[in-house]
Structure 1
Amino acid sequence: MDKNKKIAIIGCGNLGLSIVNGLLSTSGFDGKNLTVTKRHPESLFYLQSQGVKVLADNKEAVKEADFVILGVKPYNIKPVLQEIRPFLTKDKQVIASLAAGVTIERIKNELETGTTVFRVMPNIAADIKESVTCICGENFTTESEEVVKSIFNCVGISITIEEHLMEAATVLGACGTAFVLRFMRAMTQGGIQIGFDAKTANKIVNQTVKGAAELIIQKGIHPEAAIDKVTTPKGSTIKGLNEMEHHGFSSAMVRGVVASYEDIRK
């Protein structure tokens, strides 16, 4: 990414802070090019030691920004856009919204015609530069798309999708983090029941899940292909898998994903 791009994060909550941490840990990124805002910014003042400008004034934050990330809640998008609109220049700033369920059309309605707008959905793993960020935009140029992707590539990987898939992306990429963590907790509980102390069980589960994910990523294989490599005839692995399936493991996971999707579309 262009290390001289000035970035403003409006409404820097947990997700915004994850992006901040990812950017600050990127080689060559200068904290002086980052401004963050919060209604009560005291909890962010520690970032000032890394050059980050911390403000309560959204209007002041966007004046010099090239890229504006809206980290506010969906119900605050309209008033915040109305507040900062007089200080935006359509040919200068690129706007990216993190607000789930708020369409590009709704955002554009509050801005000057021609302003470049994106919706982006990273997840909390941005904090350790392992997020998957789904991006969509409307009438954007290749250059503006690259600007967006370069910023969010600093905190993981980014994928450009069509807007009608953004809610689905939120479920798989953001809600999905919690789904995986709940699976890990259950696996740890099982480990405790068969004899491990909680700390050891947790350590084994963490590395097992990490290893499984890296196996799929690095080998580029389907999960079922990897499963076939560890299931032997009459073995304990297939017995455990079949027992889980008898109790609806895969079905429960699919139903959970669909339930979250239906809720987010309301």
Structure 2
Amino acid sequence: MKKEQSIAILGVGNIGSALAKGLLDSKFISPPSLTLTRRNPDKLSAFKERGCIVTDNNIEAVQSSQVIVIAVEPHHMQHVLSEISPLLTDQHTLISVATSWTISKIRNYVSEDVPIVRAMPNTAIAISESMTCLAGPTKHPAMKQTIEMFKCVGDTEIIDEELMTSATALAACGIAFFLRAIRAAAQGGIEIGFHADQAIKMAAQTAKGASELLLQDHQHPEYEIDRVTTPKGCTIAGLNQLEHGGFSSAMIRGITTSAEKAADL
């Protein structure tokens, strides 16, 4: 995506703010080309000070932008889409981060000429480490634009739209699952002699290192596990105890349960 293209983020709350910060910090876009809207624009004063356009007027934001990111809460989507749809043309790219709003549902308000991409980041977007799942026209330039944008705040994966609910369980709810695993590891660390702050730091950094081994070397988890286990060693003894306690099956059940619940929402 060309940096001179203008972007509007409508409904700038936590996700919108994190995305805007990532776009600016990475120099993906210059502040004057970024328009941010919110009912109370005073809460966006930090972005205004950086040179962004801040307003409470969605129509003005759309009129001056080529890429439109709708970051409002789902129950505000109908109003926002009805408000901006007459202004959208095939020269726009529409990106929605609203949960439960499918592309076909959005299409009821938006012309067929307008490319639509759904994006589902997770809370790690706040530190530019999001796993953002994307769905939409994979061959259209709009998807490339969206990938480039969300690469500024983490990594991306294109998925079939029907898997968005499953992605919610694995990548969004999954943040909580891995945090709970880190907390449990830290509690174990306290029991074997470490202070709480030491245990949390050691557990969190160890989890980060484990993730980077997979992301950088592209190996299967069991490959890395085999590298750290030795015959009759302490690692395999601990792993077997975890499995006796149902660790893997509990994680799997947690993810599938979250997916079932998300499907009902």
> Structure 2 length normalisation: TM-score?
0.94
1:151 is aligned to 149
Matched, 1:22 2:22: yes
Q: What is the CA-CA distance between 1:59 and the residue it aligns to?
A: 1.8
Check conservation: 2:88, 2:110, Cα contact below 8 A.
no
What are the Cα deviations for residues 188-237 of structure 1, in whole angstroms up to 9, with x where unaligned?
Answer: 12111211111111221121111111111222110011111111122221
What is the CA–CA distance in structure 2 between the aligned matches of 1:130 and 1:17, rounded to whole Å? 14
2:178 is aligned to 180
The secondary structure found in structure 2 opposite 1:154 is helix
2:117 is aligned to 118
1:36 is aligned to 36
Check conservation: 1:101, 1:264, Cα contact below 8 A.
no
Matched, 1:209 2:207: yes
The secondary structure found in structure 1 opposite 2:100 is coil
The secondary structure found in structure 1 opposite 2:39 is coil
Matched, 1:95 2:78: no
What are the Cα deviations for residues 94-147 of structure 1, in whole angstroms up to 9, with x where unaligned?
Answer: 111111221100001011232211111122222333222211114x65322211
What is the CA–CA distance in structure 2 between the aligned matches of 1:178 and 1:52, rounded to whole Å? 33
* Residue of 233, 236, 243 corresponding to 1:235: 233
Q: What is the CA-CA distance between 1:15 and the residue it aligns to?
A: 1.3
Check conservation: 1:8, 1:35, Cα contact below 8 A.
yes
Q: Relative to structure 1, is the Cα distance of residues 28 and 145 closer, same or farther in structure 2, using a 3 angstrom cutoff? A: closer
Q: What is the CA-CA distance between 1:89 and the residue it aligns to?
A: 2.7
Check conservation: 1:12, 1:38, Cα contact below 8 A.
yes
* Residue of 137, 140, 143 corresponding to 1:142: 140
- Structure 1 unaligned segments of length 5 or more: list them: none
What CA RMSD, in Å, does the superposition of the two structures yield over aligned residues? 1.6
Aligned residues: 264
The secondary structure found in structure 2 opposite 1:9 is strand
What is the CA–CA distance in structure 1 between the aligned matches of 2:4 and 2:212, rounded to whole Å? 33
Residue pairs, 1:156-167, within 5 angstroms:
156-167=154-165
1:196 is aligned to 194
Amino acid at match of 1:120: A
Matched, 1:264 2:262: yes
Check conservation: 1:36, 1:52, Cα contact below 8 A.
yes
Displacement over 6 Å in runs of 4+: none
What is the CA–CA distance in structure 2 between the aligned matches of 1:247 and 1:161, rounded to whole Å? 33
Amino acid at match of 1:17: S
Amino acid at match of 1:27: K
Q: Which moved more, 1:205-214 or 1:51-60?
A: 51-60
> Structure 1 length normalisation: TM-score?
0.93
2:70 is aligned to 70
